Amino acid sequence: TIVMKVKSFFLRLYWITIPIFASLLPSYKSEASSNYNNGQDDSNEKIGTKIAIIGGGIAGSFTAKYLADYDTKSAAKGAIDSIVVFDPFPIEHQHTTEGQQNENLQGGRVSSLTLDDGTVVELGGATIHDADKLLIEMIEGDPNLVLEKSKFNECVPDKHFGIYDGDGSWSFLTNNAASSITSWFPTMITLTLLWRYNIDFIRIWQASLRARESFHLVYKMLDTSHPASFFHSINELWDIVGLLKTTHVSYDDFLDAFGLEREVQWWRRFIPGQGCLREELLTAMNICYSNQLNPEMNGLSGLINLMSLTGETFSINGGNQQLISSAFMQAQKQYESIVNTDNNENLSRIRHVQAQITTVVSDMNSMGLWSEQRNMGKFDIVILAAPLQNSQISFFTKSHFDEAVLHSMPMHGMVDSDVEEAGEHHRQAKPLPPSATNDYTEVITTIVSSATVKANYVGLADSKVPTSIYVTEKGRRMEGINEISCLAEHEICKVLSPQRLSTETLENLFGPNHKIEHVKVWGGDFGGFTPNYNGGREHAIPTPFLLYDGGLGTKGLAEGSALYYVNSVEASIASMEASAIGAKSVAKLIAQRLGLMSVPSSQRSE
């Protein structure tokens, strides 16, 4: 008893500033109960599991949909009491040319802009590949969503693209008859690339096809309830489908293993139209997709970028951001047949709350969510569906000695079940891997109208200027851009760049008469658009999907609060489909935890 009192005294002394904050928490309890719990009180009676999802992008909305699927289709139908998605933007958020948005708010990275003439331009999450099974399944679940060929062929080689070295110099132009066979086969871009890059193109094509086969296995694992298909981290999934090693090497090392040349072989220099695949196309695609060079990418992230070479790409008519609201509404429809027996009204189990979560406070039984000093309610399970390092959220746990004392939440550490009787529940916390703190690279999307690329500035005749301009490492360094894609008939151009473009740069590219329609700074001062992969290796080690467990949930039981992390997948890859894979992986773990999926107790994960 004396030891416990001494320990309590020092804890109070060390955390002297935090109790001041904690003392504010109870004063807002009534607002949480009345406004954010469907009018239900916080009694001890357990009605069902209350789940909060922080982040309303692809990761958050897809997680809600998958949880609704598991709940409504299980024998224990209705085990989930409610799912609340918190996001600072409306569920049907779309950018317009009227003013700029608050770029510092956490939010999804799939966003569209509607111009005054009705033209829709994707600001982020621009392409959907025919291999993106989870995205396509969600689209097929909504008859109002229609896929169409992408208007802007962003990051996807077509018959009207070029690779720019800057200062009027070009590495490659598809419409240059002297360096390709496009003039004979105008629709056969593959033959053009095969001629230019020779055996290297065949090697990388085969690698892309193998990656597609591996992802077929990914989807099979996600669709089964076999005990081996519940993955604690994304690396467990990559391992079982044979992709794990690609995450731990840089993309350059990966290309070396495939035998790709680092420069044009001497004998090929005597053949017209030859080039180096690694220096030109692969570098250009990685700059466009991921804002990074080959040595900075890991092998898997670079391989994923290649998959557009072996299939078709699409976008949703009216904007890809519709997929977010569609997934949310499809989740709501799953519960339409469930009736509240008390008042015979449909129970609104899935809701969207427009708020930025700033604090999460956990005790053993629940987690309280706060938006500044506004209490948003208590939940049994919280799912973070946004990058941890960019979320601007403080995570705390209450002391078991004094609830007025808060500790930093020991993520990556679980309750030690061997000492359950211990008063403070000894933690086995380990440092989070580097992927949890790696920064995200800044990407700026600039939309201009009344614009065409100035032919004399890029050293071409008017008829030779491609509609899609990619850049080499030298081109990005000299021009400060990642890619330009234009919709010629509307005189609209979209520019991706690592920094804000100056007025001088825009006038050099598009002339003095262009109009800036929108500038999107992804993440503002608190984030970015694409993860900094740092060449893989230790930076590709992800956090577990279960970041924190306040009880014994890792033993297959539902006691205790828990924090799950969907965006853990971004340690190795980042895309709309990757977010969907993370969402389904986390939803399966939660379904297992709640007994919604039948898994033999002797084989449950530990």
Could you tell me which of 569, 580, 575, 565 has the C-alpha nearest to residue 540?
Answer: 569
Cα 539 to chain centroid, rounded: 17
Answer yes or no: do 245 and 161 share one domain: yes
Per-residue confidence (pLDDT) for residue 447, from 0 to 100: 96
Dihedral Cα 124, 129, 133, 136, nearest 10 deg: 70
Answer yes or no: do 368 and 389 share one domain: yes
Final residue in a domain of this structure, among 462, 492, 521: 521
Is 115 within a domain? Answer: no
Whole-number Å distance between alpha carbons of 108 and 54: 11
Answer yes or no: do 209 and 266 share one domain: yes
Answer yes or no: do 301 and 330 share one domain: no
Cα 386 to chain centroid, rounded: 7
Answer yes or no: do 311 and 325 share one domain: no
Answer yes or no: do 343 and 419 share one domain: yes
Is 111 within a domain? Answer: no
Ramachandran bin of 242, using left for φ above 0, alpha for ψ from -120 to 50, beta for the remaining angles: left
CB 159 within 8 A of CB 600: no
Pull the structure tokens for residue 261.
């040349």
Is 501 within a domain? Answer: yes
DSSP label of 500? P
All residue ranges of the chain with pLDDT < 70 are 1-46, 93-108, 125, 153, 159, 176-188, 337-347, 412-429, 523-524, 552-559, 599-606
DSSP label of 250? B
DSSP helix/strand/coil, 151: coil
Answer yes or no: do 357 and 397 share one domain: yes
Whole-number Å distance between alpha carbons of 298 and 288: 15
CB 190 within 8 A of CB 495: no
H/E stretch holding 327:
helix 322-334
Is 172 within a domain? Answer: yes
CB 428 within 8 A of CB 505: no
| C-alpha to C-alpha distances, 226 to 24, 136, 223, 229, nearest whole angstrom | 46, 24, 9, 5
Ramachandran bin of 334, using left for φ above 0, alpha for ψ from -120 to 50, beta for the remaining angles: alpha
Per-residue confidence (pLDDT) for residue 6, from 0 to 100: 42
Answer yes or no: do 402 and 489 share one domain: no
3-class SS letters over 369-421: EEECCEEEEEECEEEECCCHHHCCCEEEEECCCCCCCEEECCCCEEECHHHCC
Answer yes or no: do 339 and 269 share one domain: no
Is 124 within a domain? Answer: no
Final residue in a domain of this structure, among 521, 551, 574: 521
Whole-number Å distance between alpha carbons of 532 and 291: 9
Q: Domain of 586?
A: 2-34+56-91+321-438+539-603
> Side chain identity at 132, as an amino acid letter?
D
CB 241 within 8 A of CB 232: no
Burial 257-281 (b: 16+ CB within 10 A, else e): eeebbeebeeebeeeeebbbbbbbb
H/E stretch holding 447:
strand 444-449
Could you tell me which of 120, 50, 146, 30 has the C-alpha nearest to residue 379?
Answer: 50
Could you tell me which of 435, 470, 26, 479 has the C-alpha nearest to residue 235?
Answer: 435
For the chain, what percent of residues have pLDDT higher than 70? 79
Could you tell me which of 550, 589, 605 has the C-alpha nearest to residue 410?
Answer: 550
Is 116 within a domain? Answer: no
When divided into structural domains, the chain yields a total of 2
Answer yes or no: do 14 and 63 share one domain: yes
Answer yes or no: do 210 and 247 share one domain: yes
Pull the structure tokens for residue 304.
């994923």
CA geometry: angle at 158 spanning 493 and 143, to 5°?
Answer: 75
| C-alpha to C-alpha distances, 17 to 10, 11, 357, 401, nearest whole angstrom | 13, 11, 21, 17
Final residue in a domain of this structure, among 493, 521, 549: 521
299's CB contacts (< 8 A; 6+ apart) are 245, 246, 247, 248, 249, 250, 251, 253, 254, 536
DSSP string, 199-222: HHHHHHHHHHHHHHHHHHHHHHHH
Could you tell me which of 475, 508, 480, 510 has the C-alpha nearest to residue 492?
Answer: 510
Per-residue confidence (pLDDT) for residue 39, from 0 to 100: 35
Answer yes or no: do 174 and 297 share one domain: yes
CA atoms within 13 A on the CB side of 391: 27
Is 377 within a domain? Answer: yes
Dihedral Cα 433, 405, 5, 414, nearest 10 deg: -30
Could you tell me which of 524, 568, 534, 528 has the C-alpha nearest to residue 440?
Answer: 528
363's CB contacts (< 8 A; 6+ apart) are 397, 398, 403, 550, 561
Is 307 within a domain? Answer: yes
CB 283 within 8 A of CB 293: yes
Tell me how far apart the terminal alpha carbons of the chain are, to the nearest angstrom. Answer: 33
